[in-house]
Chains A and B, each alone.
Chain A
Amino acid sequence: MRKCALANKNALLAAMAKTAKLYVPVDGADEKSRDVNSRLAGAYYAEWKDGTQLSKKLNTTRSPKDFFFPQTENMMTFKMTGKKLEIFDTRREHEDFILFGVRACDVRSFTVLDNVFLSDPVDSYYANRRAHGIIVSMACNKPAGTCFCRTFGIDAADPEGDVICWEDDAYIYLTAKTEKGEGLLNAVADVTEDCADDAADAVKATVNERLDKLPLADLKSDAFGGGKTDTFFNDPAWNELSEACLGCGTCTFVCPTCQCYDIKDFNTGREVIRFRCWDSCMYSDFTMMAHGTNRPNHMQRFRQRFMHKLVYYPENNGGLFSCVGCGRCLSRCPISMNIVKVMKKLGGNENAE
């Protein structure tokens, strides 16, 4: 394990930024800014520059999935000249980049996305970005009231990633978990020093104590998982749960694991751009087909989102849930309906209130 005094954090980030483009969570605006809205909008990832202040917020409003699966992406362009049709491949080889300060929940979300985009047939757009991304994760010293990552077996005290970091009052501790991670730690060796492998244990212990005391610490996922379609699909509670849902895409778009997209053609007048963009199962035209939509009412669309995360996805992915307990939907849903409320309502005796 390596460590770096917090006073030298800027130098550490500078050393990382020398090896590849470095992205860090920052606040929308500094405290002096008159733009209170940017500040209240929460943190987001931005490219690090010398002196960039990192956000003290627990997490970003939008998840870092954007780096691998952007909201909009051009896939190819077509051009017609007379009777000649040309197709242009718009893919470019990406350069390496580093995501710094990714939380344990969000690191797990990459695994959830990998299962979809990197299984056969491999999505080359996603794979290209993923291959070039280096994940530097950070343990959560102060998990929020809306956090429930443990429900899905995620450890905020000991995240996954290429390089794992912990911070106490004096130092940031770093350890590499992959070859990519080792490469990065070697590159920043000048600004870090060796330390005992158990140097971060005190931080881990504190985080674990805090995780024990979270309001949602008792939420269990045991009732859900593959093979439970019949148990939950026809539950009358879906009507009540979906009653006030606006059918907007907020939960989907702030969710680190939602991975649905639509593919469309845009005619610029000179060429046709085929692009894909995030889609939401909450939208009435989601998976619209020639015969119409297969989920004509809102309850069905609402149910799909939660069944997918809690039943269908685990069924197809060895039991892995496609919720990581980041809590973004809890804090952003316009009507405060969310997966925790759904799990408590449907989850059998264990989650009964």
Chain B
Amino acid sequence: MQTVTRDLLLQKACELLDAGTVNRVYGWQKGQFDYDVTPAVFSSREELEKDFVYNDFCGANFSKYLIKETAGEGKILVFLKPCDTYSFNQLLTEHRFDREKVYAVGIPCDGMADIRLIEEEVGEGVTGVETDGDKLIVHTLYDGDVKLNRADYLAERCRVCKSKKHVAYDELLGEDGDVVDSARFDEVAKLEAMTPDERFAFWQNELSRCIRCNACRDVCPACTCEKCVFGNPKSGVENKAVSDSFEEKMFHIIRAFHVAGRCTDCGECSRVCPQHIPLHLLNRKFIKDIDAFYGEYQAGAEVGSRAPLVDYTEGDMEPGEAVASVDERGGKDA
């Protein structure tokens, strides 16, 4: 269960609105089933009291929305979970929004639940999900209320949470946590241990489900080009079609290259994928390699940091050494 409550956030939002510190609030709007929460802008106490919600399904990362929202008049309040603050800083590093127009309130996060894991367990008749301590009470159409262990139904990115620490905020609600020594690279290590053929088959299977909806790109806080090369009819590579099975791999691999060194591993790409493709594993592979080749680097940990891939130092590893080290770890063709 979340240590900050909806009421506490509501109180803070109203206080800042009343004091004139902000004129809008970026928050979560309640849906119809508890789990279908929509990011929304609230402009008044009335709107907040009516629709503002905070529960175990508030996973959306608001940082990218600040690009659009800071184009407006006045300051906007944004609630940031620890992982969101890394994207926030990374966007500031890239000068993507006006910091002066944001009042950031850091809020602790105890992980967000994944409705698909819940539905896989109890079926599709879910009408609501409430949290009761370390349990989830799932209201269903055909099996009454089903009690689940909350920890088992957290989103993958939350089960391997990398940080409970906020790296950016104007004000913090509750206690700040620490960077967590998480197991987030374990899945990558499993892929590295595969033979190239096995690995190819793994990605072939996963990426074959891609429907090219672009949700991964559109939600990604590192993908902020005003006109994506894949959405520009004049680019010559614009393509809405899956013209062959290689197409999707190219799209996702190129995207992973483009965000390498800038991706904070927020996991939004995998959260939004309608086909449940573990896209974050591509990005994590880059992060793992960058850590191994250039020393540990966490994008977004501080504003203005130079990512190793765009920062030359004399001690940099030579490309040949990098290739050799990958070969050692099983990457070489058998």
Q: Residues of A with Cβ closer than 8 Å to B?
A: 28, 35, 37-42, 57-58, 61-62, 71-72, 142-146, 210, 213-216, 240, 243-244, 246-250, 252-254, 262, 264, 266, 273, 275, 277-280, 283-285, 288, 330-332, 334-338, 340-341
Contact = CB atoms under 8 A, between A and B. Distances in A.
Interface stretch (B8-16, B121-129, B321-329): B121-129
Given A144-B125, A285-B233, A275 B116 contact: no
A244 B205 contact: no
A246 B231 CA distance: 14
A142 B120 contact: no
Contacts of B120: 39-40
B124 A57 contact: yes
Given A246-B219, A334-B271, A266 B243 contact: yes
A214 B141 contact: yes
Contacts of A278: 240
A280 B125 CA distance: 29
Contact of A262 (B31, B38, B240): B240
Contacts of A57: 124
A248 B214 contact: yes
Contacts of A336: 31, 35-38
Given A35-B205, A144-B124, A336-B35, 17 more contacts: A37-B206, A39-B120, A71-B211, A71-B212, A71-B241, A72-B242, A142-B124, A142-B125, A144-B125, A145-B124, A244-B39, A244-B40, A285-B231, A334-B271, A336-B36, A336-B38, A341-B32
B65 A244 contact: yes
A39 B233 CA distance: 35
Interface in B227-273: 227, 231-233, 238-243, 271-272
A332 B35 CA distance: 12
A253 B213 contact: yes
Contacts of B213: 248-250, 252-253, 280
Q: What are the 6 A-B residue pairs with the smallest beta carbon separation, nearest first?
A: A277-B241, A334-B272, A336-B36, A248-B215, A144-B124, A246-B218
B142 interface: yes
Given A283-B240, A336-B31, A247 B218 contact: yes
B295 interface: no
Contact of B219 (A41, A71, A145, A334): A334
Given A39-B120, A334-B272, A145 B240 contact: no
Interface stretch (B84-92, B172-180, B274-282, B303-311): B274-282
A244 B51 CA distance: 15
Contacts of A240: 40-41
Contacts of A214: 141
B113 interface: no
Interface of B: 31-33, 35-41, 60, 65, 115-117, 120, 123-127, 141-142, 205-206, 209, 211-215, 217-219, 227, 231-233, 238-243, 271-272, 274-278
| Highest count of chain A CB atoms <10 Å: which of B31, B37, B38, B126 | B38
Nearest to B68: A243
A41 B207 CA distance: 12
Contacts of A337: 38
A254 B274 contact: yes
B272 A145 contact: no
Contact of A142 (B65, B142, B206, B217): B142
Contacts of B38: 244, 335-337, 341
Contacts of B276: 37-38, 40-42
Nearest to B37: A336
Contacts of B36: 330, 336, 338
A210 B240 CA distance: 40
Contacts of A41: 209, 275-277
A48 B210 CA distance: 22
Nearest to B202: A35
B231 A145 contact: no
B124 A210 contact: no
5 contacts: A143-B125, A144-B141, A145-B124, A240-B41, A250-B213
A334 B272 CA distance: 5
A15 B125 CA distance: 33
Contacts of A72: 241-243
B162 to A, nearest CB: 20
B39 to A, nearest CB: 4
A214 B141 CA distance: 8
Nearest to B26: A244
Nearest to B41: A243
A28 B205 CA distance: 10
A199 B116 CA distance: 36
A251 to B, nearest CB: 8
